[in-house]
Every structure is written in structure tokens, then in C-alpha cells.
Structure 1
Amino acid sequence: MPTDRRIVLFDLFGVIARHQLPGAQGKMAARCDTPTDAFTTAYWSCRPPYDAGRQSAPEYWTAVLRQLSRPADADTIEELRLTDIDSWSRVDDRMVAYVQSLREVTEVALLSNIPSDHADAFLAAQPWLRRLDHVAFSGKIGAAKPDRAAFQHCVTAMRAAPADFLFVDDREENVRAARATGMNGHVFTDPDDLATVINAWLPKPAVPLTRG
């Protein structure tokens, strides 16, 4: 049963933060002396256990390099790790300001698929995240979207009912998974459209989204 709470639960990348820096995978592929398409295949196919906190960064990069038949020495692994973290470090300042402003009228939380070491770096660079009502990183909680356990973590951690949440993500499969748990869901495509949806869902209007 829902309570009278309203919790906006945001995805991070593709909503508040930018997707990976263009050209980053090409740069990492060059470091491995391998074609970009082969690197990209290995990068993503090995990623799920790393995102879900079941693998450390060295374990992940060793798996990638082995799939590429490249040596997995410590220096290469650390260079790739740091390049990867940097490539996911950009935010949309307009959305950051909007998310923070929402806390004046409702509870705001975040659920992101991000490895543990990436999460540590992101928190250090974006301290405003610590002012949200709850932050759940897949690498820290041991579950990644669209796994039901990732959404259930937020419900349990916030002592809420699924229907108390409006989940916002740019990936339709993640929104479908959230809805299957009983949450409300919105597929993010445009900041202005999102503000309209949130204003309609909240009991009282939110602070307007400022123009960038």
C-alpha cells in the first residue's frame, strides 16, 4: 500500500550525468593495441559483474584484456581504469541544479549502475549527491538494474512502498522493471518533459527547471 510520500528516484547516466565521453573507448582500445570494435565488445560483455559489485576493477580489466588476448599487467589495468572513470565523469549542470531544487518539495534519491570504484570517484567530484535522501550505486549494493533487487534495495532502505516512487531513467527496460515492482516510471528524453511529469505527480508544483 502506498503512503502519502513522494520520492523521485533518478537514474544517473543519461539523465543527470552525461553518457560516456565520445572517443574514450577508442583511446582505451589504442592503449590495448586492438581495434575499437573488438575492445567495445569485450568492454561491455565483461561489464555486468563489475557493475553489480561482484568483481573488482582489476578482475574486470583482467577479463577484458584476456578476451582481447592482451597481457593484463598492473600498469595497463590502472591506466585503463582511470581513463574509464574519467570518461564517465561529466554531468549536465542544468539537471544537477534541478535535482537539488526538487528537495525543497519532495524526497529525492538516486539509483545508478556504476562500479564501486567509479562511485567513489563520482561522489568525491560531486558532493551534492550526499545531500540526497538516498544514493544507491549498483557496485555498492550488489545489484544492477534491471534486476528487481536493485529497486527493492531502495524501497527497503527508504522504508517506503513501491508506489511512493517515481523512477526516472533513459532506458525503457529499466523503467519497465521498476514498474513491475510497483513503482511509477518515466522514460527520460527531455528535461522540460520530465519537469511536466514530475509537477503532475507531486502534490504541489516543484521549482521550475531553469534554462541552460
Structure 2
Amino acid sequence: MPEAVGPQAVGPRAVVWDFGNVIVRWNPRTLYQKIFPDPAECDRFLAHVCTMDWHMAHDRGESFEDNIAVLIARHPDHAPAIRAWRERWWEMFSGAIPETEAAIEALDVRGVPQFGLSNIHQDTVEGTYAMSPAFGRLKDAIISGRERLTKPDPAIFRLAAERFGYAPRDLLFVDDSAKNIEAARELGFDVHHFTDPASLRPALEARGLL
């Protein structure tokens, strides 16, 4: 379904931000291309060993240590590379996204309430916040690892609306995942699928937020 654009009689009154690849850039390949210089070998490792399905357990709050131990038992030949998922976690990041930082600052100046909703392990939250002052503009955030719920489960979106104190229609949800965007849209959130940083400000302006 195409995203609504243009002036609206009634629009969102607050913004809910995803973190990874919306506020800060995160990609396991940023780390693992150092460990596996051969691109094909790197691809195989991320497709068959440290997969995103495996990583989702961290987003649900499972400890890195326990989840890594289980994977090493299955792939003992890759033990050092698997351990690097936690030991070198911060090397998966490549800085904040300037367009998002600028938008968050501009919304803050306008007095628009802003919140976070992220699939993220509870032990990595503070380190992530330290990557950008933009995180300090968020009034509250739903952290999946603390709640033991992950996007795109509808329950985490309902929790966000309840905790932030807004009806879904009053919230603009910004995320890079199409599945998360569709889940939020089905619950009545306004949504912006973040695929191009340059499209962010026009989307906010179209809704009268900037």
C-alpha cells in the first residue's frame, strides 16, 4: 500500500523512531567483512551461522552468552567468529545518520513529542544512546529486550501506544523494516518506511510536523 502524502486534515502529533538504520547505521557485515575478507565466505557465515533469525533471540532479551554458547555447540569451527558478535559488537555500527539527527533536532525545536521503539538487547541500549545526542531528545523508548517482545508482534506496538499515551493514529512510526511498517499500519499508526534518508524531511513536512 503506498504511503499517504500531502496535506492532511488530521495528522500525527508525535513521532516514534526505530534505532538501527534509522538513527544509527548497524550492519553485521561492517564487522564480519574484517573477519572474512572473502565476500563469499562472509556471505555464507551470515546466511548460515550468525543469522538474523538467531540474533532475534538477543532482541527478545536472551543473554548473548547463552545464545552464543548454543551456536558454538552447533558450529565449533566458527567459535571465534561467533564470539565476535558480542566481543566486537560495536564494530557493527558506522555512525549516526545525519538526516535523521537533523530531523529529530528540528522536531524538538517545534515541540513535537518523540519516542523510540527498537528491537535491541537491553545490555546495548546505553552504548547505542551514546552514539548520538538525538537519543536525548526522546521522551521515552520501548526496548524489546526489556519487554520480551519484538517487532513486528502487534503486542509491542499496542504497548508503545499505551505507554506513550497516544492513539495509534496520532503516532508517526519510522522504521527501515517493511514487515514492521506493515504491522504498525495495520494497527492504525501513520508510517514512514525509511529507505532513503533524503525522503525523511519531506515526509515530516507533508504531515505538518515540520
- TM-score, normalised to structure 2, is 0.79
Q: Please tell me whether residue 97 in structure 1 is matched to residue 102 in structure 2.
A: yes
* Contact 2:168/2:188 (8 A) holds in 1: yes
Q: 1:51 to 1:21 in 2, by over 3 A?
A: closer
Q: Please tell me whether residue 61 in structure 1 is matched to residue 68 in structure 2.
A: yes
Residue aligned with 2:15, SS = strand
Q: Which moved more, 1:154-163 or 1:42-51?
A: 42-51
Alignment of 1:49-88 (within 5 A): 49-53=57-61, 55-70=62-77, 77=83, 79-88=84-93
Q: Please tell me whether residue 36 in structure 1 is matched to residue 42 in structure 2.
A: yes
Residue aligned with 1:43, SS = coil
- Which residue type is aligned with residue 201 of structure 2? A
The CA deviation at 1:36 is 3.1
- TM-score, normalised to structure 1, is 0.78
The CA deviation string for residues 38-62 of structure 1, in whole angstroms up to 9 with x for no partner, is 4312212311221111x11101211
The CA deviation string for residues 69-97 of structure 1, in whole angstroms up to 9 with x for no partner, is 34869xx84x5413123313521133212
Q: What are the ranges of 5 or more consecutive residues in structure 2 without an aligned counterpart? A: 1-9
Aligned-residue CA RMSD (Å): 2.6
| Count of residues in Structure 1 that have an aligned counterpart in Structure 2 | 194
Residue aligned with 2:19, SS = coil
Q: 1:128 to 1:184 in 2, by over 3 A?
A: closer
Q: What are the ranges of 5 or more consecutive residues in structure 1 without an aligned counterpart? A: 207-212
- Which residue type is aligned with residue 58 of structure 2? Y
Q: Please tell me whether residue 157 in structure 1 is matched to residue 163 in structure 2.
A: yes
Higher RCO, Cα 8 Å, sep 6+? 2
Aligned residues: percent identity?
27
The CA deviation at 1:131 is 2.8
Residue aligned with 2:130, SS = helix
User: Where do 4+ consecutive residues of structure 1 move more than 6 Å?
Assistant: none
1-side partners of 2:36 and 2:59: how far apart? 20
- Which residue type is aligned with residue 123 of structure 2? D
